[in-house]
Amino acid sequence: MDSVLRAAAVYFVLMLLFRVAGRRALGQITTFDFVLLLIISEATQNAMIGDDFSVTNGVLVISTLIFLNIALSLLKDRSRFVEKLVDGVPTVLVADGRLLEREMRKARVGVEDILHAAREKQGLERLDQIKYAVLEVSGGINVIPKDQK
Amino acid sequence: MAQKVLQKHGDLEIDEDPGFQDVAWTAERVGWAIMLLLLLAAVAGVFGNGPFSRAQTRTPEGGLSVDYPRFARMESADELELRVRGDRRATVEIDGDFSRDFLIESIQPEPVAQRPHRGGVSLDFEPGPGQAEQRVTLHLRPRRPGFPIRAEVGLRGEPRVEISTFVFP
C-alpha cells in the first residue's frame, strides 16, 4: 500500500513544484539545471523507496508513476482545462515583428533568448527578420521568419 | 542483396502496418487495465504492507494470539505481534527455520530471556504487576523470498499454530 501512495504523492508534489517553477526552469538545460535535476532525483528516491529495497517495491513504484502518467494523458485528452492546468499554454512573444514586452517579462524571456532560438533554428541574423516568436508549452522558443523579399 | 520493398501511403514511402498497429494499441489498453488491477491489489496489500497483508491466528488452547504478515517483501521491515494471556511468566517458542528466514531487528518490550530453539527462538516474557495480557511486537525483516515461509508458534508445552508468510523477492 505505502509504495503506491508514496509514489503517487511524490508524482503530484513534483508536478506541482515544476509547474510553479515555470517553463523556463527546465526548458533549456544548463549545466547547473542538470546538476539540480540529479540532486532532485536523489532526494526523490529516498522519499519513494524509504528502506524497502525489494524488487517488488521497485516494480510497484515504477508502475504507479507510469500509470499516473497514462491516466493524466487520458484526462488531458478529455479535458482542455486539465491540459491547461498541467501543461500550461503557449505564449506569443513576438507578433508581426513587434516585441511583446509584458509577455517577455512575465515569461522571463529576454531578447537574446529569442535571437538565440532564431539563430539556432532558422539561421536568422537580426531581430527584424523575425515575424513571430512563441514560447511553447514544452519550454522551447520557436521562431517564424518574415518572408524574404 | 534483395532490395527491401517499402510500402506506400499516398506519396509517402513508409513501413506502415495498420494491422499490427491495431493489435499493439489493443495490447496497450489491456496492459493499462492490468496495471490498474495490479496497483489496486497493491493498495489492498496483496504485495505486503496493506490491510489485506495481515493475518491473525491463535493457539488451540487460546493462550497466545499471533498477528503476522501474510504477505511480506524481502529485506523490508515488517512486524509480528504476539498477545500472551495470563499474569505469569510465559515462554513463547517459534520453531521452523525462523531465525534463518527472518532477521529479528528488535523486540518490544524486550523479553527477559532469549534462547535458540530448534532453528527458531524461545522468548520468555514477564508481565508487569496486575497485567492479564502482554502485547509484544517483533520487528522483522525477511531475509529470503519464500513461497511461502512457514513457522510454528506456541507457548512452551502447548500445541503449536502454523503461520505462513509469502515473501515477495
In what helix (H) or strand (E) does residue A86 lie, and over which residues does it extend? helix A80-87
pTM: 0.81
The answer to whether A70 contacts chain B (CB < 8 Å) is: yes
Cis amide bond preceding A90, omega within 30: no
Give the burial class of B36: count Cβ atoms within 10 A of its Cβ; 0-12 exposed, 13-18 middle, 19 or more buried: middle
- Confidence band for B9, pLDDT divided at 50, 70 and 90: confident
Instruction: List the single residue in B with minimal CA-CA distance to A58.
Output: B169
> What is the three-class DSSP state of B117?
strand
CA neighbours closer than 13 Å in the CB half-sphere of residue A119: 8
User: Distance (Å) from the C-alpha of residue A68 to the closest C-alpha of chain B?
Assistant: 10
Residue A80's pLDDT is 93
Among A11, A51, A54, A74, most B C-beta atoms within 10 A, so best to mutate, is A54
Q: Residue A117 corresponds to which cell in the numbers above?
A: 532560438
The pLDDT tens digits for A112-148 are: 889 988 998 889 999 999 999 999 888 888 999 988 6
Could you tell me the pLDDT band of residue B96, with boundaries at 50, 70 and 90? confident
- Distance to chain A for B78, nearest Cα, Å: 10
* For testing contact with chain A, the best of B40, B76, B105, B141 (most A CBs within 10 A): B76
pLDDT(A64) > 60: yes
Could you tell me which chain B residue has the CA closest to the CA of A55?
A: B169
Contacts of A5 (CB under 8 A, 6+ apart): B43
Q: Average pLDDT, stretch B68-88?
A: 89
Q: What confidence category does residue A25 fall into, taking pLDDT thresholds of 50, 70 and 90?
A: very low
Is ipTM beyond 0.95?
no
Across residues B163-169, what is the average pLDDT? 90
Q: For the segment A135-145, what is each residue's pLDDT rounded down to a tens digit? A: 988 888 899 99
pLDDT at A27 over 80: no
Homologous superfamily of A91-145: bsu07140 like domains (3.30.240.20)
